[in-house]
Every structure is written in C-alpha cells, then in structure tokens.
A and B are shown apart, each in its own frame.
Chain A
Amino acid sequence: MNSGSGQGSLLTLAGFFGVLSLFAIGGGNSAVPEMHRFAVEVQHWLSDRQFADSFALAQLTPGPNLIIVTLIGYHVAGILGALVATLAMCGPPAVFAFFVGGASERFRGKTWHTVLSRALVPVTIGLIAASAAVIVATTGYNWMSLVITVGTALTAYFVRVHPLWMFVAAAVIGMSGLL
C-alpha cells in the first residue's frame, strides 16, 4: 500500500472519482481506461499488474462493477481511501439520479429518449471495447492470456454460461502454471 501524501491523496481521489463518476456512461466497466490512465500512468498509484489484479478482484466480487474504485482507493490510502473513492464515485450520479429520476416522468416516451439512445449506445460500445483493450494490454500480451481472452469471448458469444464459471476456469488455468 502506498500511503501517498495523506490528505492530499484523499483529495485527489475524491476529485478524480467525483468527476469521473459523471462521465461513466454505461457503468463501471466503461470507465476502466480512464481509471488506468490516471491511477497508473499519471499518479503512479498502482503498477500495471496491480491494476489488472484489482480489476480481476472486482470482477470476482458480487455487486456493481464500479467496486474496482474501492480497491484503487484502498491501494492509495487504506480503508479511508477506499471509502472516499467509493463515495466520490457514487455520490454525484446518485444526486443527479435523485433529481432527474423524479422529474423524468414528464419526458417519458419523448423523442429525447430515442435521440439519447441512438447517440449513447455506440459510445458505450466503444468504451467497453476500449476497456477490453486496456485490460489485455495490462495483462502483458502473454500468449496464454490471449488464448483465455479469445476463448472466453467466443464461449460467451455463442453459449449461455454464467460468467462465474468462466472466471473459475480461467483462474484454474492460470494457477496450473500455463500462464
């Protein structure tokens, strides 16, 4: 754990995730590239491997995917960092949803709905693809992990399997030393 400069890093955590939370279209996984850029490349809070590990641990934890934020906060400033990062990531969208959610019924079924859906769906697709690319890069282009990535993609596309089973299989393959 890297304790950084105490309150300074807590403020940086709060500021970064607070702003990021409002740009995370489509949930936690689409914000992965920005988290990687800032936490690994700008702030050097984590190494590439620690980032990829945190991502994997977040996937293995039940609940919303944005829980990766808690792990990054924990790396930076322990339990306090974890709480600050999580609150910063959840607070602004929650306040937004609270007010817009109440007002939205008046706009129901209007054209804005169609426009936003058409406009934001391709952006979300691009963001998730970018997240996949960043994760593949951080796991280090090892040929076996590429095989796992491609194998999981094909399995998930063509067969209905619970993601947890694919994670278990990938962990076992990894642990067996083939990676």
Chain B
Amino acid sequence: MSASLIPGSAEPPASPLSAAPQQPQPTLTELFTAFAKISLSGFGGVLAWSRRMMVEERKWLTAEQFNETYALCSFLPGGNVLNFSVVFGARFGGVRGALVAVAGLMGPPLLLVLVIASIYARYGDLPPLRRALTGVAAAAAGLMIATVAKMAQPLFRNRAVIGPLIALATFVTIGIVQWPLPLALAVIVPVSIAAAMVRL
C-alpha cells in the first residue's frame, strides 16, 4: 500500500503526479511550447533538458515526482522522452494533453529533419559532406561506447555475473549475429527477469 492512503480520510489519495495546490498547472499551449523547447534544445538525448524545464524552470513537478515518472517511462517500450511527454501531458490534460505534448515534442524536429533530408537528397553525394557525415556517425558511435562504459559500471559491483552476461548476450545476438530484435528479446528478457527475481 502506498503511504499516501490515509485511513479514514475522505480525500482522494495524493498521487505522485497530481499537483499540490501551490504547484502551477500548465495550460495546453504551455504544454506544447514546453515540449517543443525541450525537444529543440536537446542534442543526443533530452533527459537533462526535460528535467531542467519541468523541475527547475516551470516547477510543474518536484524533483522526486520527476524521478518517479522518469523511472516509469524508462521501463515502458519506446523512447523515454516520448513516454514522458505522454504521461505528463495526460496527467494535466487527458487525451488532449497527451496529444499536445507529443506534438510539441515530435513536431519541430520532424519539420527540421525533413528540411535536412531534402538538402541531403540534393547534396548528399558531395564528397566533403559525405566525409563530414561519416565523421559524425563515427563520433556518435564513440558516444554510445562511452555511455555503455558508464552504464555498465554498476553491473560489476558485488562480483555479480549475471548482469554482465545478459549485456554480453544481448550485444552478441543483436550486434554480431544480428538476430531480429523481437526474437533476441523474447529469449533474453525472460531469462533476465527470472535472474533478477532470484536475487531479490
């Protein structure tokens, strides 16, 4: 039971996301502009920006509420920030709020990337541009390797074996042997969940 369920209280339990009276509530327009701003200021992942906007600038969420919502969103399928925009938008404006937040998040980069795509369609074969893009792809691969190195550190604590093994199995089946993703996950995720339950 959640601690917010006060026995005998006629009030509905305080949910982690329902705003306290002193917390400001966004309008639909504010939802749209907030997510558009988050989206356009974030390169290579928008987590840091969404935190800054939601918690520090607009104060729509406390730091704790933000962490809880974000933890939930990272377990849902799909992009974390997309899920976050849906959950957050729905909380303040139902279906319309969710749609507006997603439109704010995806609309501006969609338009921007279409402009980029049409430029690429015309000039993508120019050697300097090609080499520049190869450089960027190589750098992005390097960034992912650094992310993996940072994320993997906690796996090796307590001499745990199963976590690193699961990560390795995922890497080999998807990255080297190139199994279809649903097939690989259908094998690996149940094993990983079972192992996590055993260690509880």
B63 CB within 8 Å of chain A: no
Q: Kindly state the separation between the CA atoms of A167 and B136 in the bound complex, as whole angstroms.
A: 5
Q: Which secondary structure characterizes the binding site on chain A?
A: helix
Q: Kindly state the separation between the CA atoms of A168 and B141 in the bound complex, as whole angstroms.
A: 14
Instruction: Judge whether A174 and B134 touch: CB under 8 Å.
Output: yes
**The one of A19, A106, A149 that contacts B141, using a Cβ cutoff of 8 Å:** A149
| Given A67-B109, A153-B142, A179-B134: A130 in contact with B87 (beta carbons within 8 A) | no
| Given A118-B163, A152-B138: A24 in contact with B78 (beta carbons within 8 A) | yes
Q: Mark A152-175, 1 if CB is under 8 A from B, else 0.
A: 111111000011101101111111
Instruction: Judge whether A145 and B138 touch: CB under 8 Å.
Output: yes
**The one of A26, A129, A172 that contacts B145, using a Cβ cutoff of 8 Å:** A129
**The one of A33, A56, A118, A174 that contacts B181, using a Cβ cutoff of 8 Å:** A33
Residues of B within 8 A of A20 (CB): 181
Instruction: Judge whether B148 and A129 touch: CB under 8 Å.
Output: yes
Instruction: Judge whether A157 and B102 touch: CB under 8 Å.
Output: no
Residues of B within 8 A of A86 (CB): 106, 110
Interface residues on A, range: 35 or more
Instruction: Judge whether A79 and B114 touch: CB under 8 Å.
Output: yes
B20 CB within 8 Å of chain A: no
Instruction: Judge whether B80 and A27 touch: CB under 8 Å.
Output: yes
Q: Kindly state the separation between the CA atoms of A96 and B133 in the bound complex, as whole angstroms.
A: 35
Chain A proximity of B149: nearest CB distance (Å)? 6
B21 CB within 8 Å of chain A: no
| Given A23-B182, A53-B124, A149-B139: A65 in contact with B44 (beta carbons within 8 A) | yes
Residues of A within 8 A of B74 (CB): 26
**The one of A70, A100, A152 that contacts B114, using a Cβ cutoff of 8 Å:** A70
Q: Kindly state the separation between the CA atoms of A1 and B166 in the bound complex, as whole angstroms.
A: 39
Q: Kindly state the separation between the CA atoms of A116 and B194 in the bound complex, as whole angstroms.
A: 10
Instruction: Judge whether A62 and B42 touch: CB under 8 Å.
Output: yes
| Given A20-B181, A97-B87: A171 in contact with B135 (beta carbons within 8 A) | yes
B188 CB within 8 Å of chain A: yes
Chain B proximity of A155: nearest CB distance (Å)? 8
| Given A63-B40, A131-B175, A162-B43: A53 in contact with B199 (beta carbons within 8 A) | no
Q: Kindly state the separation between the CA atoms of A148 and B90 in the bound complex, as whole angstroms.
A: 42
| Given A120-B189, A122-B163: A115 in contact with B200 (beta carbons within 8 A) | yes
Residues of A within 8 A of B151 (CB): 121, 124-125, 128
Instruction: Judge whether B145 and A149 touch: CB under 8 Å.
Output: yes
Instruction: Judge whether B144 and A128 touch: CB under 8 Å.
Output: yes
Q: Kindly state the separation between the CA atoms of A59 and B174 in the bound complex, as whole angstroms.
A: 21
Q: Kindly state the separation between the CA atoms of A170 and B136 in the bound complex, as whole angstroms.
A: 5
**The one of B75, B113, B170 that contacts A130, using a Cβ cutoff of 8 Å:** B170
Cβ < 8 Å to B, chain A residues 1-51: 1, 19-29, 31, 33-34, 37, 41, 49-50
Residues of A within 8 A of B112 (CB): 61-63
| Given A57-B133, A123-B189, A127-B174: A101 in contact with B72 (beta carbons within 8 A) | yes
B9 CB within 8 Å of chain A: no
B147 CB within 8 Å of chain A: yes
